[in-house]
Amino acid sequence: MTNLRDNVGPFFGQYGGRFMPESLIAAIDELAAAYEETKTDPAFQAELAELHRSYTGRPSIITEVPRFAKHAGGARIILKREDLNHTGSHKINNVLGQALLTRKIGKTRVIAETGAGQHGVATATAAALFGMECTIFMGEVDTQRQALNVARMRLLGAEVVSVTTGSRTLKDAINEAYREWVTSVETTNYIFGTAAGPHPFPAMVRDFQKIIGEEARQQVLDLTGRLPDAVAACVGGGSNAIGIFHAFLDDPSVRLYGYEAAGDGIDTDRHAASIERGRPGILHGARSYLLQDDDGQTIESHSISAGLDYPGVGPEHAWLNDIGRATYLPATDTEAMEALRLLSRTEGIIPAIESAHALAGALKLGKELGPDSIILVNLSGRGDKDVATAGAWFDLFDEGARQE
Amino acid sequence: MTVRVDGASATIAARRDAGSGALVGYLPVGFPDLATSIDAAVALVENGVDILELGLPYSDPVMDGIVIQQATQTALAAGFRVRDVFSAVEGIRSRVDAPVLVMTYWNPVLQYGVDRFADDLRSAGGSGLITPDITPDSAADWIATSDRTGLDRVFLAAPSSTDARLADTVAASRGFVYAVSTMGITGTRQDVDAAARGLVGRLKAAGAENACVGIGISTADHVREVLEYADGAIVGTAIVKSLADGGVTALARFAAELSDGLH
């Protein structure tokens, strides 16, 4: 392969594939075929571009953050502001694409899994916009720590199903969404939220998210006259990371860093660092790095950030890791929360806890790369949903005034 | 290493020649504990079940409904290890003569080692695998290993499968093809979906020697209805429920009820 950007799946090196129950193959094949058609369909591309412009608010801006960067060895730090998108994160980029695809294949109902609730909110939003029925599956643990997003989805007209099996987090929400999809596949499309799962999802979600990096690459060139030295993003399933990495894959001077949620630390048993501490296995339809025990049973992940609390990772990241094109490093709960507070206080931007993992990474990276370096960070989401978590973490609530 | 283990097709053929069809019973290994799950499997065969389908408990069982999920989670919480499946098969085969197939999601086999898993299963007297979350086009390693070992490989076919995929599934399967009766996951249902009959007809047209119907089959009436057109009827959730509710005694009584009049 001449260009890393040209990989369209189903395999990324030894990773990816389509390991799925036969009952879902017809639907996945239908989706894959429809997606292939849209790639060369100018009407589809034009409609998506218009939604990006007049609904989401794209292109999202970049913001240089010098007061924050003082804490990063003086490196120049530039944020790609996906937090400013309608619905508050990068998730809407993918959802609008897949919602258009749902309409194209003639289905009238969408389902989705969600961790932090950002993908669920984006899917509920698109369903409202397109007049589709919508059911969101969310682990019970996540419905509690992201209660605001549950209310938001219901306000948008979606049904939210609290999943009480397994670890009651994102992986179990995906299991339950698959079970529902098998049952209702004739009328229902599954809008998968991250660049994982069976082919075509990893390639398709990446393609819908790569607009992040394509815009940012040009914006950084326009601002600084050159490419950044490094690009940083948080990695759960990995859709915001692959979205910003993709445009830079064939720029060898640009180093790519993915920050995995290290929870209490990657040498404890409470983290979500699939690439750093997992080994290859199959979960949710694809082969990739996976947190699993000796028997291949999935190990529950842990992170303060619901959106990164997933024991797997998208197959393209597994491949980029193995070929050395991207580097995956840990950021703990504490490091992420400190970075969240620092960005809030120095720049007046409250990031999502997910994105704060990338900020924590950038603080260290800047010290390594030095004051002349330029680091582009994907600020994948805003922190409004996380204020209750941050308030508890930093003890910001007045005595007796805590809202439940 | 050369234990002769018959596959499921000989048993199915014998039942068909007798003018009936095979009753296939599902149980998860290790539920409620390993010893009881072996006793329960033996009781199924002693009460008229022709072929055993032993479920391997897995953390992410996407094709299973709540009854089987709860049973397999119980087994995992009680410390089930993948290697326990071989001692279970061995224990069952030392007491009753019926083909034992292991129903397993793919990652546990992959992590154990596909070849090692197959060799250990064969040594234990197992007949093969039923693999609900992989399809022949994603199973090259398992197809090679099962060719080497002679183990049965049962793939699933769904009402939504295209004719071309059904043909591939029939060609790749050995023992029988598992015809999924309805678009859904395991669980009891009022009626067996009419889609099952159509699917079995399509599988036969594609050259399937044996097609067994599973999912939603929970009563003796369902079994008889399915065996009018299929080579076997697979009962899972209802058996697990009888074991969960009333232990091996209740399970034995339920199996006898399911097989009443078949033999």
Mean pLDDT along residues B35-40: 98
Name all domains of chain B by residue range, CATH numbers in brackets: 8-155+232-257 (3.20.20.70)
Residue type, A36: E
DSSP state of A292: B
pLDDT band at A229 (very low <50, low <70, confident <90, very high): very high
Taking only the tens place, the pLDDT of each residue in A293-307 is: 999 999 999 999 989
- A68 φ, ψ to 5°? -65, -40
pLDDT class for A403, splitting at 50, 70, 90? low
Q: Smallest Cβ distance to B111: which of A26, A172, A292?
A: A292
Whether the pLDDT of residue A250 is over 70: the answer is: yes
CA angle in degrees (0–180, nearest 5) for A124-A126-A127? 60
For residue B88, is pLDDT > 80?
yes
Per residue in A269-319, pLDDT (tens digit) is: 999 999 999 999 999 999 999 999 999 999 999 999 989 999 999 999 999
Supply the pLDDT for residue B83.
Answer: 98
Q: What chain B residue is nearest to A180 in terms of C-alpha separation?
A: B184
Tell if the CB–CB gap between B183 and A166 is shorter than 8 Å. Answer: no
* Count of beta carbons in the 10 Å neighbourhood of residue B147: 11
Q: Which residue stretches of A185-226 are H helix?
A: 201-209, 211-224
Phi-psi region of A140 (alpha: psi -120 to 50; beta: other; left: phi over 0): alpha
pLDDT digit string (tens) for B132-148? 999 999 999 999 999 99
A207-217 as b/e: b if 16+ CB within 10 A: bbbbbbbebbb
The CA radius of gyration of chain A, in Å to the nearest whole number, is: 19
Q: How far is CA B26 from CA A175, A199, B68, B238, in A?
A: 21, 31, 10, 9
> Contact A143/A121 with Cβ under 8 angstroms?
no
pLDDT band at B5 (very low <50, low <70, confident <90, very high): low
CA–CA separation, B225 and B189 (whole Å): 14
CA A345 and chain centroid, separation: 25
Residue the block writes with tokens 């009402």:
B159
Rounded mean pLDDT, A339-353? 98
Residue A402: pLDDT over 60: no
Q: What is the DSSP string of A4-69?
A: GGG--SSEETTEE-----HHHHHHHHHHHHHHHHHHT-HHHHHHHHHHIIIII-PSPPEEE-HHHH
Alpha-carbon Rg for chain B, nearest whole angstrom, is 16
Strands A109-114 vs A188-190: parallel, antiparallel or unpaired: parallel
Phi, psi dihedral angles at A289 (to 5 degrees): -65, 145
Q: What pLDDT does residue A354 have?
A: 97
pLDDT(B263) > 90: no
Q: Taking phi first (over 0 means left), then psi (-120 to 50 degrees means alpha), and beta for anything else, what does residue B56 get?
A: beta
**Among A91, A107, A171, A364, which one carries the catalytic annotation?**
A91
- Inter-chain touch B106–A171, beta carbons under 8 Å: no
Eight-class DSSP state of A299: P
| Sign of the Cα pseudo-torsion (A186, A153, A213, A232, in order) | negative
Q: What is the mean pLDDT of chain A?
A: 96
Which residues lie across from B211 on neighbouring strands? B177
CB contact under 8 A, A26 and B158: yes
Strand partners, B177: B211
Contact (CB<8Å) B156/A185 = no
Hey, what are A41's tokens? 């369909």
Q: How far apart are CA B62 and CA A177, in angstroms?
A: 9
Residues of A in contact with B138 (CB under 8 A): 17-20
**What average pLDDT does this structure show over A64-75?**
97
Residue B195's CB is within 10 A of a number of other CB atoms, namely 16
Count other C-beta atoms under 10 Å from residue B146's C-beta.
Answer: 21
Given this model, what pLDDT does residue A1 score? 54
The ipTM (two decimal places) reads 0.96
pLDDT higher than 90, residue A344: yes
Identify which of A17, A179, A297 has the shortest CB distance to residue B138.
A17
End-to-end CA distance of chain A: 54
Token representation of residue A362: 């950038």
* Distance of residue A105 Cα from the nearest chain B Cα, in angstroms: 16
Phi, psi of A135 (to 5 degrees): -125, 130
Residues of B in contact with A179 (CB under 8 A): 62-63, 65, 185
* B112·A183 Cβ contact <8 A: no
Cβ count within 10 A of residue A256? 23
Predicted confidence at residue B2, as pLDDT, reads 42
Chain B residues within an 8 Å CB radius of A171 = 60
In whole angstroms, give the CA distance from residue B146 to residue B162: 25
- Closest to B183 (Cβ–Cβ): which among A178, A182, A298? A182
- DSSP lists the bridge partners of residue A112 as A136
- B19 to each of A374, B14, B217, how far by Cα in Å? 78, 9, 20
User: Residue A217, by phi and psi: left (phi above 0), alpha (psi -120 to 50) or beta?
Assistant: alpha
pLDDT tier at B189, thresholds 50, 70, 90: confident
CA atoms of A343 and A390, how far apart (whole Å) = 13
Mean of the pLDDT values across residues A227-233?
98
Q: Using CA of residue A204, residue A209, residue A215, residue A217, what is the dihedral sign?
A: negative
The pLDDT of residue A400 is above 80: no
B157 contacts on A by Cβ (under 8 Å): 22
Determine the 3-state secondary structure of B110 from DSSP: helix
**Of A90, A85, A147, the residue nearest A306 (C-alpha):** A147
Confidence of residue A146 (pLDDT cuts 50, 70, 90): confident
Contact residues, chain A, for B137 at CB < 8 Å: 18
Mean pLDDT of A381-392: 94
Q: Catalytic one among B39, B50, B64, B193?
A: B64
CB of A298 within 8 Å of a chain B CB? The answer is yes
Q: Which two structure tokens, joined as six digits, stand for B196? A: 């099952």
Asked if B111 and B103 touch (Cβ cutoff 8 Å), the reply is no
**Which residue has 């069982």 as its token pair?**
B61
* Residue A271, min C-alpha distance to chain B (Å): 18
pLDDT at B89 over 80: yes
Q: What is the DSSP letter of B98?
A: S
Contact flag B73-A165 (C-beta cutoff 8 Å): yes
pLDDT of residue A2: 78
Residue B53 bears catalytic tag: yes
Whole-angstrom distance, CA of residue A391 vs CA of residue A396: 5
Q: Is A19 on the interface with B (CB under 8 A)?
A: yes
Q: Which residues in chain B are closer than 8 Å to A298, comparing Cβ atoms?
A: 59-60, 107
Active-site residue A380, yes or no? yes
Mode of pairing for the β-strands spanning B156-157 and B152-154: unpaired
Residue for token pair 């339809």:
A285
Whole-angstrom Cα distance, residue B126 to residue B100? 5
Q: What is the pLDDT of residues B196-212, one digit of tens each?
A: 999 999 999 999 999 99
pLDDT at A135: 98
Per-residue pLDDT reduced to its tens digit, A190-210: 999 999 999 999 999 999 999
Q: Rounding to the nearest 10 degrees, give the CA dihedral for residues A367, A372, A373, A376.
A: 110
Omega prior to B32 cis, within 30 of 0:
yes
Burial B58-81 (b: 16+ CB within 10 A, else e): bbbbbbbbebbbbbbbbbbeeebb
Look at B60 and A186 and tell me if their CB atoms are within 8 Å: no
Strands A279-283 and A188-190: unpaired
Query: Smallest Cα–Cα separation from B136: which of B174, B103, B100, B104?
Result: B174
Q: What is the pLDDT of residues A148-177, one digit of tens each?
A: 899 999 999 999 999 998 889 899 999 999
Are B59 and A282 a contacting pair at CB < 8 A? no
Q: Which residue has the tokens 């990816």?
A: A16
Contact A182 B63 (CB under 8 A): yes
Return mean pLDDT, chain B. 96
Instruction: Name the residue type at position B98.
Output: A
